[in-house]
Amino acid sequence: MAMRIGDLSERTGIPVKTLRYYDDIGILPAADRTASGYRLYDDRALGQVGFVRAAQAVGLSLGEIRGVIALRDQGTTPCAHVLELINQRRAELDQRISELESLRDQLGSLARRARRLDPRDCDPDGVCHLIDATATGAAPGAMPDRRSPS
């Protein structure tokens, strides 16, 4: 059954603008067009939008999702590739969890240190003696690495 993009949007809960973007970057199957230029999608598009949402929910990027769909469109079962992506994402999460646990420990140390410090001893030339380069292990002037995995 053919449906216009507005119908696909209503059935999937995905905004029309997002569906157009998915169409433009090849995530949705190529839509047929009406004589007046409206996009027409079949039920396959519903399945692909469902896959996109599920894949995003487990952390896959649109580029990775597009690659999985391309494999399927070429007639290749993409399961081995998807498993590789899942394992990569899991390794990235393990690394991030380790970093967060280390940060939690560092914050605990700072909190314990703060209970021993007297605000009257704070250097007027500094900002706050609770957080300084020696307490955090950071080099003076160094910026923390806040990049998130992509």
| Domain presence at residue 129 | no
CB-based burial of residue 59 (10 Å sphere; 0-12 exposed, 13-18 middle, 19+ buried)?
Answer: middle
Helix (H) or strand (E) holding 40: strand 39-41
Q: Tell whether 65 and 27 lie within a shared domain.
A: yes
Q: Tell whether 21 and 85 lie within a shared domain.
A: no
| Domain presence at residue 91 | yes
| Domain presence at residue 86 | yes
pTM (two decimals):
0.70
Q: Tell whether 71 and 81 lie within a shared domain.
A: no
pLDDT one-digit tens code per residue, 61-97: 999 999 999 999 999 999 999 999 999 999 999 999 9
Q: Tell whether 47 and 81 lie within a shared domain.
A: no
Q: Tell whether 71 and 111 lie within a shared domain.
A: no
Residue 39 sits in which domain range?
3-76
